[in-house]
Amino acid sequence: MTMAGDLRPRYRWYQLDASAGAAALALSPVLDEALAPTVTRPGALPLVLVRTQFPHVLLGPRDRRLPRLGEALAWLRRQGYPAYFRAGGGSAVLLDEGCVSFAVARPARDLTRWQANFTELVEGVVAGLAELGIRARFGAAPGAYCEGPYDLVVDGRKLAGIAQAVRQGFTLVSGMVLVDQDPARTTALLQEFYERAGDGRRLDAGAVTHLKALRPERPPAPAEVAAALYRGYATGFALEPVPWQEADWDRARRLLAAREAEVSALAGDQVARPE
């Protein structure tokens, strides 16, 4: 409940964790994009979403041009990692139980505010990390997977990846904080994906870190990180927790089915190909 005289902008707060059940977690890859268009409705508030997820790979728009994409997608599927294309920029990332995802959406039509969207909508993550004793800043970590100029870095290494999409009247800034995801394992997986896809980039596991490495004396659990993100966003936004509606799940189910069909069409003829 927002108190009288509170000048912070009001935002809806959504949270998803394992308590929601397997069916809900399966929708995590597309929940941010399913919810984001709702901010354009008359009277609707902007929103913040924090969630955990089952393991999956998200691909960026540039990955569509990989020369052997179908073969690489089929290989990911055989490793047990479903893959989906996302609206935001960047390239391939792995999301799993070792990270906490976040997304912020608000109405937007001014494309010149691209940089401001990053800094203003991720400030809650910076504040949340500071509560955990971690001082992160915006910047690039050369050699990291999905390297971008607005990632959050600590001592030059990537701790959180950030992407942005501006669509029909809204902006969606999303990303993930690496809690204890193994940089070496993740980098090796994505490196092989790109090699199988015919891309010559070289990824460096040393360019990525996680909270467990930064706080080895008391590594935070994902639930602690999610709580810190809530407090971080609450410093700038008046957060109003809202219950999930069946319409939210319906939009996500339809979007996930469309993304699955898209990837299956690209990878389907490669599934039975031997290693």
Each residue's pLDDT, cut to its tens digit, for the chain (275 residues) gives 566 678 899 999 999 999 999 999 999 999 999 999 999 999 999 999 999 999 999 999 999 999 999 999 999 999 999 999 999 889 999 999 999 999 999 999 777 788 999 999 999 999 999 999 999 999 999 999 999 999 999 999 999 999 999 988 999 999 999 999 999 999 999 999 999 999 999 999 999 999 999 999 999 999 999 999 999 999 999 999 999 999 999 999 999 999 999 999 988 755 444 34
Residue type present at position 86 = R
Looking up tokens 């809900």 gives 24
Query: pLDDT at position 274, please?
Result: 39
**What's the rounded Cα separation, in Å, for the pair 102 and 232?**
12
Integer Cα distance of 131 and 177 in angstroms? 14
* Phi, psi (deg, nearest 5) at residue 137: -135, 160
The ranges assigned to domains in the chain are 11-269
DSSP E strands: which ranges in 4-127? 10-16, 47-51, 56-59, 83-85, 93-95, 99-107
φ, ψ for residue 200, nearest 5 deg: -95, 10
pLDDT at residue 9 in the model: 96
Q: Which helix (H) or strand (E) holds 263?
A: helix 246-267
Distance CA 206, CA 14 (A): 33
Q: Which amino acid is at 46?
A: P
Going by C-alpha positions, the residue among 209, 216, 214, 215 that lies closest to residue 187 is 209
Q: What is the pTM of this model?
A: 0.93
Contacting residues for 176 by C-beta, under 8 A, at least 6 apart: 93, 95, 99, 100, 101, 102, 160, 161
Q: Contact, 37 vs 167, CB < 8 A?
A: yes
CATH code given to domain 11-269: 3.30.930.10
- The pLDDT value given to residue 1: 55
